[in-house]
Amino acid sequence: MTKIDSAAPSYHSASFLSGLLQREDESLSFTAQGWMVQPRVEEKGSMPRIVVAAQALTLHQLEGIFTALQSWCVAGPLVKHPFSERFGDTVVSAPVRQTRKGGLQQALGSVAETYHADIAVVNDSPLLTEPGLLVMDMDSTVIQIECIDEIAKLAGLGEQVAAVTAQAMRGELAFSESLISRVACLKGVPVAQLEQIRNQIPLMPGVATLIAVLKQHNWRVAIASGGFTYFADYLCLRLGLDEARSNTLEVQDGNLTGRVLGNIVDAKVKALTVQELQQKWQIADSQTIAMGDGANDLLMMETARLGVACHAKPIVNEKADVAIRYTGLQGLLYYLNC
């Protein structure tokens, strides 16, 4: 057993950590005496794992993270995640034993913010290597904007509508009612102007990478959105998704009428979409994931085996199984069993 000198400059080097984790016959453990390198012992049984992901992660940062979390959990030997450094992030995981009930999610969020790293405790995650289903929200998840807010800007009501959108995403307003009132503000906007928004739509970093990797492993990927078909159907085609469900804006004489056609895609419809697509493609319960950022995504996240918060509102981060806070959407891959 060898102790690592915390006073050495290499302690703050990301490449030093990477080099340690490359050793197949040794493991790296954080103990009361500090970091120890010791012979690797094969793990027995299945335990929850803590996953830490950040750009250029160091032993110094990991020490701070594990020390801050020691009131809630104790981590075992570290291993390098199979996707570590593949997408620019250093990703490590370790078996973890929870020592305190309650408050773990809040603690993970606080420590993640302090170290600007994504940190989660996962247990029985879906297998990347088996067919699965990922259903994602669209606005502020697949893309970086709220489309309804951008349309409202065309009507000169951007700030007013954006304020209502923010309330709805925080769970302070019923989604369907808020959508109806916001869409009413769009009356008279020419449909032709929506093309400008669509052509400039900013994808969330990492979304194309996430979809490509999942598709390589025979996963199905879909959008379930409280947004609009004009954008969701376009993204379905652009990103090669399997399905998209969203709301249809009524149009007359080339202009928006301020009304939505048909039933509104709300929290219940999103959750039902996960179930329907799972049955349609015969996906096992254990292989389902739902990802979103707002309160109206919580029900579908509860329906799926793994609920993922994506750059989300505080209430969503708190209730989700895992959260992507700082990495791109490829960060979801770090939480899967590979």
Catalytic residue set:
137, 139
- Retrieve residue 59's tokens: 């032993």
Q: What are phi and psi of 50, to 5 degrees?
A: -100, 135
- Length of the chain measured in residues: 338
What distance lies between CA 326 and its chain's CA centroid? 10
CB-CB contact of 274 with 306 (8 Å): no
Residue 120 CA, distance from chain mean position:
11
Neighbours of 328 (CB within 10 A): 20
At residue 278, φ and ψ (nearest 5 deg) are: -60, -45
C-alpha pair distances (Å), 74 with each of 46, 49, 61, 104, 285: 16, 10, 16, 12, 30
CA distance 232 to 255: 19
CB 269 within 8 A of CB 248: no
* Interatomic CA distance for residues 211 and 124, integer angstroms: 21
Please give the Cα distance from 308 to 317 (Å, whole number). Answer: 8
